[in-house]
Amino acid sequence: MITVRLFGMTKSLAGNQDSLSLALTNGRQVKDLVELLDAGYPMIGELIHKKKVLVSVNQEIAHEETEILDGDELALLPPFAGGTPW
């Protein structure tokens, strides 16, 4: 089982859950996670495919081939704004 933290619109699309616990049984890469999300949360999967939501593994933006290991911290990151101008 892996835990994926949710923020912003991804949290809303998952019924206001803070995180999802998922079993990756068909592979251990980000693309396998996205496939699982497509099946259970198609609107979230669509946002990932359209690059409107990014997947992070251990606080680094991940790519399809990024490996997911037990204990990794995963999150779905929607667009965000803010910060201060220089």
Q: Which residue has the tokens 């939501």?
A: 53
User: Which is nearest to 77 in space by CA: 31, 41, 44?
Assistant: 44
- Please name the CATH architecture into which domain 2-77 falls: Roll (3.10)
List the chain domain ranges: 2-77
Task: Tell me what pLDDT residue 5 has.
Answer: 97
- DSSP summary character for residue 3: E
80 conformational bin, left if phi > 0, alpha if psi -120 to 50, beta if neither: beta
Task: Tell me what pLDDT residue 81 has.
Answer: 62
Mind listing the pLDDT tens digit for each residue in 24-80? 888 899 999 999 999 999 999 999 999 999 999 999 999 999 999 988 999 999 987
- Residue 44 amino acid letter: I
Contact 22, 35 (CB under 8 A): no
3-state secondary structure (DSSP) of residue 86: coil
Q: Which two tokens stand for residue 71?
A: 């204990």
